[in-house]
Every structure is written in C-alpha cells, then in structure tokens.
Amino acid sequence: MSEGGRVSRLTRYTRLAIIALTASTAGVLAVASPASAATGKVNTAGAPLTVRSAPNTGASAIGSIADGTSVTISCQTYGKSISGTYGTTTVWDYIPAKGGFVSDAYMYTGSDGLVAPVCTDTDIISQCATGGCPGQATYNRNDHKLTVYDNKGDGDSGVAMYWLNDGTGPHYAWNTQGSGSHKVFTISLPTNGWVFFNACTGSYSTRAVSGNCSNGQTGYA
Amino acid sequence: MAQTNRRLFLLGGAAAAGATVLPSWALASSAVAAPAIPYPFQLGVASGDPRPDTVVLWTRLAPGPLNPDGNGGMPDATFNVDWEVATDENFATVTASGTVATSRAIGYSVHVEPALQAGREYFYRFKTGGHISPVGRTRTAPAVGSTPAQVRFCMTSCQHFEKAWYHAYGGIVTDIPDLVLFLGDYMYEKSSAAGAVRRYTITDEVTTLADYRQRYAQHRTDPNLQAAHAAAPWLVVFDDHEVDNNYNRTTPGATRKAAAYQAYYENMPLRAAAKPSGSSIPLYRQFLWGSLARFHMLDTRQYRDAQAAVGDCTTMRSTSRTMVGSAQEQWLLSAFDAHPATWDFIGQQVMFSQRDGDGLRGSGSTGCSDNIRDAWDGYTASRDRIANGWVDRSLPNPVVLSGDVHRHWAADLRVDYYDHSAPIIGSELTTTSVSSGGNTTNDPPSSTWWSYNPHVKYYMNKRGYVRVTATPQSTTADFRVVSNPTIYDPEQVTISTSASYVLMAGTRGLQRV
C-alpha cells in the first residue's frame, strides 16, 4: 500500500466516527455508505484511466479520463479486484460525466473505503461473491442483460442466481468459460418487472454453488 | 421527547444531526417531495375482515421485494398513498377515496378502513408516485339481521414457498368465493431444500423484523397468491410458523414474537384494532354474515401452554392447561350465549377432533404416546370446556374449521371420542395445505385405525383447499385437490373435488354427497 493509502485509512476511521455520532443522534443504525456524491482525482502516473461499462476489466471500454483530472463520483460498487496506484481494491467508482466505472485503485479519494453511496440507481449494478470478488454479476437496466464474470483462476465457475417477479427462482446463470471471461444472459422482464440477483462461484459439474454468494440486489425493468 | 412517534423522532433526530446526513426530501414534513421509486405494487393488493360498514384494504410498497434488508427497495421517507373504492371495475363510480401515509416504521404497509355500505361488492386500487396498483375485488358483510341465501368461502392453510407451486389459489380464484379463510402457516421461518421447486433468497431461519418482512415479501411475489388476495376479502389467523415451529405462550422470547407479530400485521389485511403491542397481538375476532353464518376466528398459539411430554396423559388432560387462554375462552363461550346465525364456523389452526392411534384411553405419564401433542388432543380439558360450552348453550350448528396437518380430514365431534356411541355434538372440516408437503401419494390410515376413530369420515393427503357453501338449509364442503403441485405449468395441472360432505341445519353429523 502506498503512502496515500496509509493517510487515507486514518481519514476513514475519522469518517466512521462521524457517521456513528450522527447516526446515534438520529436514532438509526449506522449505514456504512455515505449519503452523497464525492470528488476524486485520477492518479495513474501518466496514462489515461479507462472508463468501463461495468466494474470489471472484461467489460467494454466506453471512454477515458486523463491523469490528474478531478471527477465527481456519484456512487460506488464492488467489482473485479484491481491493483493500482493506491493498492489493491474491489471498489469501483461510477463517474456520471462519463456514464461508466473506473477502478478506485487509481482514484485519490482520501479513503480506502466507500466515499459515496452504493450504486443502486445506475443503469448497471454489480454484485461480487465474497472473498475478493472471484465471481461477479452485473445487470444492465437498458438491455436487461445479466453478465456473469469469472475473475479468479480457482477452478470454480462464476455463477449468478436470480429470482423473478413471477415468483420463480433461483434461476442459474453459469459462466463456465474460465478465469478472466464473462458470459452475457438476457433476462426476460415484463413492464414493471424486476430481477433479484446475486453473485457466487461454484462447480458446474456438480451444480454446487459455494457459500460465498453476495447478499443480492434488485434490478428493474 | 417522550411519547412521540417513531417517525417524528427519526425526522427530528435527523434534522438535529444536520442536513448533510439525510437528503432534503427526508426532512420535509410533507411526503409530496418523496423520492421517485420504481413500480412499488409488486406485492399486489388485498382486502380482509369484512364488516357491514367496512372492509380493510391493504397493500405494501416494495419495488424490490427481495432486498435482504426487508425494506423492499424503498427509500427511507414518508410516502402518501391514494386509495379509491368503486362499485365498478372501471372506477366510473368512485364511492370512497382518500390518502394515507406510510413509512419504514410500518414496513411501507397501507391499511385502509373505508366507510362502505353493507352486503355490496366493491373494487379498489391504490396510487403513489405516479404508479397505479392492480385492481382488487372485495365485498362487505351483509347487514345485521339480513337473510342471505348463501355464503361461499374457500379455506386453506400452510403455504411453504419452496415446497410446491400455489395452484390451489388458481382454483380458489375460479370459484369466486365471498370469503377466503386462511387458517395459518402463511409463511415458514425455516427453509427446506428437499424437493423444493423454488428457494428462499435467504435460507437462514428468520428471527428479526427485517427477516420476517423479507420472507413475507417473497411469499407474496407468487402471482397465484396475489390473484387470490385480489379476488375476495380474507379472514386470516396465524399458526406457529409465522413465528417459530410449535411455539407457545412461553417461547420464543418477547423480542422475536414482537418482530413476527409486527411483520404479520404489516403483511395482512387486518384492522387497526389488530395492531400488535410489543410481543402481543389482538388477533381473535368474530364476523357475522347476516342471519346465515358467524365466524369465530381463534388464536390457538399465542396463549397456549407448552406441549406436554410424549405420552404424558396427566399433563395433556390437566384442567389447568389451556389452548386459547382464559380470556379468549370466556370471550368465545360468551359469544355462544347468543345465536344470531344458523351456522357457527369456528376457524382455527390445529385439529379439534381426536385421532386415536391405539384404541386405548391410556393414563399416567406414559400411556398417551399416540396422542398428537400439538393439536387439541394434547389439551383435552381446554377442548372439553369449549365443546361442552356450546352444548350447554345449545349452539344450533357448530362447525370447526382447521388446518395445520397438510391433509384433508372430515370428522364428527363427540364429547367423549372413546365412547363410540356418544352423541355427535358438531363436525369438523380440516383443510389440506396449499403447498407444504409437496407432491404426495395418498396414504390413508389402516382399517384398524379407522375402527378406533369411527367419528372420522374422510382423509386425503394431497394439496388443495376446501370450498364451503352454506345456506339456511345446509353446509356443503367440497374437498379440492391439486393433481401435482410440483408441476409449474397450470395447463398440466388439474384441480378437482375428491369428495363432498354435507351438513343439514338442525341435524348432527356429516353425510357424504
């Protein structure tokens, strides 16, 4: 971890203390994610930072941000683990001006943790299996596509489980193409429909899903 | 600030903590500025507890019903929900309307009790944030003293979400009943993988308010269940699984009971009078259907003593033990003093009639190993007080309605079941489950068992419901069965009547039709 990382950890603890204080005053449980957008500064030591359609290097590149640029981060999510200027992290930042995600490993935010709310309203939402995101699933509201990533060469496949508004589920979306790959599934949703999905890894041959599934999130039609 | 409500406390506290903690709309005193939400009527609409002057209208806002935090994808704000009641399906003639606020403290549930006319069919819907709900059909009870020619109700129980598809509700919707009675086990606190046709998103046992809210929401995602709620008003009571398996007055603890009861109220079309207070909920209640029928909806869980030990006749027969608690028992017996209706339907959870496994009365602490400890057989003195109570008060036509056992049963009732010539004092109709138990092959008891229980007339181990038609002359029960509830495609599933029994007013005893 770089010098910046150590400084930012201190900042994070200070921030948590503030949240705990305000939460107890308000009589509600502390919520780990901040309530409003944050600002970050790209630091890549020269190269432009790639903006991707989903929080994974396997997702399509949709633009870039020059090194040293300050940007607004409207929300953050978890995705493929990336090592960069500020260490290794699974956090990705959503940049509304670009309409996509960049790895938080190259973004100076003053914190190793989340500085903006968890993404729920972005067109693409993401779920990560626990343990550093070995399996990942993203849902794109624009085209109802569920993309399942296998981020780790651990012998297991990436798999998403999903439930639909017709009372069925789980349905399984297996990506058996190996580490570094992704597979796209189209979810058939009616008007006003929803899909609730999580991300896991598992053994396709036995159809056994590991106990590392994420908590899950709702994607809307 | 003492004695203030939770919402005011939350908003006041947040304001004191500074405007950066919550967005501006959360601080507004009016819900006009509530944030935009995706389509929130994902759990459908429902109605319940019809009276001559009102019926409860229900919905619960949940754009993302399965979100693990139990909040259904709703932002933490107050939302105004408009409601409308009309006499026609197209809402050309709106007879009542209004606006009600809902918030996180009540699980974004909406309960409305509009002022309506007696004995009428109505249609209702809700609107919020530019979204409009599906339309529900409901009806009010006939006027007191009126003489309805008929009431038709469907009754069912036990709908483990994972175990089978809810085809039974397809049959209920087709029957167009006046009422639906749900006799308990609306949801299950535990997951069960064996033979599952679908799974809970969270398979851990539910214990907290967030857990219970999320679990109810998952059950309510079923389209057949939603259709049945939208088709008729329901009379609901819980059994054990809405809280914890085989629970009783002493366990589980108050915290879990409070969470379970709060979620139950939020998810059921119950009157404000049934709101829980901490770890108690006032659930037992009566309904009158003109001079034709009276429904006594009992709570056999909240006040009951713990189960006796296996075989313990002495405890099971102890006169100091109770199934319903002394207050509810007195309330029920007092109701038996008056006879305003031809039929008294006593809707409750566990089987009332005896099921004798060995032909022996048994005695002592080990002689009753064949007794079903969780049902009334485990609380015989409590059963005797109620049965003798209606005999002593000359209740004209008592019919006990039961669930719990995932089987259809029809039985006559006796004061002493071991005396096979003792007079019949009433009858019992027990409904099978919607889904719990999954697909089964019927497995009737042996001829020896039947010889021990001549008061029992019918047994069927299939999924389904019971359709009851009561007139001033008779009550007919059609035991409805689903061919195979684990097949998803309704085109490949049949729902049929496996047997029908009739009771004639003024005459005791079930007769097979």
**Contact residues on chain B for A163, CB-CB shorter than 8 A:** 66, 198, 201, 218, 221
Q: Are strands B121-128 and B136-139 parallel, antiparallel or unpaired?
A: antiparallel
Q: Give the phi and the psi of residue B425 in degrees, each rounded to 5.
A: -115, 0
- Looking at chain A, which residue has its C-alpha nearest residue B18? A22
- The answer to whether A105 and A90 have CB atoms below 8 angstroms apart is no
- Residue A15 and residue A38: Cα distance in Å, rounded? 13
- Determine contact: B21 vs chain A, CB below 8 A: yes
Cα–Cα distance list, B361 to B148, B199, B292, B313, B410 (Å): 44, 43, 38, 9, 22
What is the residue-wise DSSP string for B393-425? TT-SSEEEEE-SSSSEEEEEEES-TTSTTSPEE
Cα–Cα distance list, A33 to A113, B88, B286, B371 (Å): 9, 48, 48, 55
Averaged over successive runs of 10 residues, the pLDDT of chain B (513 residues) comes to 31 33 42 82 98 98 98 97 98 98 98 98 98 98 97 98 98 98 98 96 97 98 98 98 97 98 98 97 98 98 98 98 98 98 98 97 96 97 98 98 98 97 98 98 98 98 98 98 98 98 98 97
Contact B67 A169 (CB under 8 A): no
- The answer to whether B341 and B288 have CB atoms below 8 angstroms apart is yes
- Determine contact: A33 vs chain B, CB below 8 A: no
What is this model's ipTM?
Answer: 0.92
- Looking at chain A, which residue has its C-alpha nearest residue B14? A26
Task: Please give the pLDDT value at position B10.
Answer: 31
pLDDT (average), residues A40-51: 97
Instruction: Name the residue among B13, B73, B488 with its Cβ closest to that of A218.
Output: B73
**Contact residues on chain B for A167, CB-CB shorter than 8 A:** 166, 198, 221-225
Q: Give the phi and the psi of residue B432 in degrees, each rounded to 5.
A: -75, -170
Q: Output the six-digit token pair for B199.
A: 């799974």
Mutate which: B4, B20, B21, vs A, most A CBs within 10 A? B21
- Residue B467 and residue B384: Cα distance in Å, rounded? 28
Calculate how close chain A gets to B64, using CA atoms only, in Å: 6
Q: Bridge-partner residues for B153, per DSSP?
A: B179, B468
- The answer to whether A64 and A51 have CB atoms below 8 angstroms apart is yes
Q: Output the six-digit token pair for B76.
A: 């933490």
Q: In 10 A of CB B333, how many CB atoms?
A: 16
Q: Output the six-digit token pair for B306.
A: 């713990």
Answer whether residue A27 shows pLDDT above 80. Answer: no
Per-window interface: B 143-172 vs A, CB < 8 A: 166
- Residue A136 and residue A126: Cα distance in Å, rounded? 7
Please name the residues in contact with B330: beta carbons below 8 A apart, sequence gap of 6 or more: none
Contact B68 A216 (CB under 8 A): yes
The mean predicted confidence, pLDDT, of chain A is 87
Instruction: Name the residue among B10, B66, B218 with its Cβ closest to that of A27.
Output: B10
- Residue A34 and residue A38: Cα distance in Å, rounded? 9
Cα–Cα distance list, B36 to B25, B73, B74, B131 (Å): 11, 12, 10, 10
- The answer to whether B291 and B145 have CB atoms below 8 angstroms apart is yes
Q: Give the phi and the psi of residue A124 in degrees, each rounded to 5.
A: -115, 125
Strands of the A182-186 sheet, one edge to the other: A124-128, A135-140, A145-150, A182-186
B250, B281, B213, B134: CA torsion to nearest 10: 150
Tokens 């005797």 belong to B384
Calculate how close chain B gets to A14, using CA atoms only, in Å: 16
- Residue B438 and residue B498: Cα distance in Å, rounded? 18
Q: Are strands A75-84 and B109-112 parallel, antiparallel or unpaired?
A: unpaired
DSSP annotation of B368: B
Calculate how close chain B gets to A179, using CA atoms only, in Å: 26
Residue A167 region by backbone torsions, left for phi larger than 0, else alpha for psi between -120 and 50, else beta: left
Instruction: Name the residue among A23, A27, A196 with its Cβ closest to that of B201.
Output: A196
Please name the residues in contact with B30: beta carbons below 8 A apart, sequence gap of 6 or more: none
- Residue B383 and residue B386: Cα distance in Å, rounded? 5
Mutate which: B20, B24, B221, vs A, most A CBs within 10 A? B221
Task: Please give the pLDDT value at position A33.
Answer: 63
**Contact residues on chain B for A17, CB-CB shorter than 8 A:** none
- The answer to whether B180 and B235 have CB atoms below 8 angstroms apart is yes
- Residue A105 and residue A133: Cα distance in Å, rounded? 15
Q: Collapsing DSSP states into helix, strand and coil, what is residue B258?
A: helix
- Determine contact: A169 vs chain B, CB below 8 A: yes
Calculate how close chain A gets to B497, using CA atoms only, in Å: 27
- Residue B411 and residue B430: Cα distance in Å, rounded? 8
- Determine contact: A29 vs chain B, CB below 8 A: no
- The answer to whether B140 and B120 have CB atoms below 8 angstroms apart is yes
Q: Output the six-digit token pair for B431.
A: 């409904």
Q: Give the phi and the psi of residue B227 in degrees, each rounded to 5.
A: -65, -40
Cα–Cα distance list, A81 to A58, A136, B19, B82, B367 (Å): 12, 10, 34, 46, 65
Q: Collapsing DSSP states into helix, strand and coil, what is residue B481?
A: strand
- Determine contact: B16 vs chain A, CB below 8 A: yes
Q: Collapsing DSSP states into helix, strand and coil, what is residue A144?
A: coil
**Contact residues on chain A for B488, CB-CB shorter than 8 A:** 168
Q: Any alpha helices (H) in B344-396, and if so which ranges?
A: 380-392
Q: Output the six-digit token pair for A19.
A: 């949240």
Task: Please give the pLDDT value at position A32.
Answer: 52
Please name the residues in contact with B302: beta carbons below 8 A apart, sequence gap of 6 or more: B249, B280, B281, B283, B325
Tokens 């099971």 belong to B316
DSSP annotation of B221: T
Instruction: Name the residue among B17, B64, B67 with its Cβ closest to that of A22.
Output: B17
- Determine contact: B35 vs chain A, CB below 8 A: no
Contact B17 A194 (CB under 8 A): no
- Residue B237 and residue B349: Cα distance in Å, rounded? 8
Q: Which residue segments constitute the domains of chain B, with CATH numbers given?
A: 151-184+283-512 (3.60.21.70)
Q: What percent of chain A has pLDDT over 70?
A: 85
Q: Model confidence at A24, in pLDDT bands (50, 70, 90)?
A: very low
Q: Give the phi and the psi of residue B111 in degrees, each rounded to 5.
A: -125, 125
pTM: 0.91
Please name the residues in contact with A117: beta carbons below 8 A apart, sequence gap of 6 or more: A33, A34, A35, A36, A74, A75, A76
- Residue B471 and residue A113: Cα distance in Å, rounded? 68
pLDDT (average), residues A157-170: 98
Tokens 């297996």 belong to A174
Q: Any alpha helices (H) in chain A, and if so which ranges?
A: 3-26
- Residue A159 and residue A147: Cα distance in Å, rounded? 10
Q: Output the six-digit token pair for B346.
A: 């006593």
Find the helix packing angle between B223-231 and B167-175, rounded to 10°: 20
Q: What is the number of H-type helices and E-type strands within chain A?
A: 1, 18
Contact B63 A163 (CB under 8 A): no
**Contact residues on chain B for A196, CB-CB shorter than 8 A:** 64-67, 201
Task: Please give the pLDDT value at position B6.
Answer: 30
Instruction: Name the residue among A23, A25, A220 with its Cβ closest to that of B16.
Output: A25
Contact B13 A194 (CB under 8 A): no
Q: Collapsing DSSP states into helix, strand and coil, what is residue B100?
A: strand
Task: Please give the pLDDT value at position B34.
Answer: 86
Q: Output the six-digit token pair for A33.
A: 């994610």
Q: Bridge-partner residues for B236, per DSSP?
A: B182
- Looking at chain A, which residue has its C-alpha nearest residue B66? A196
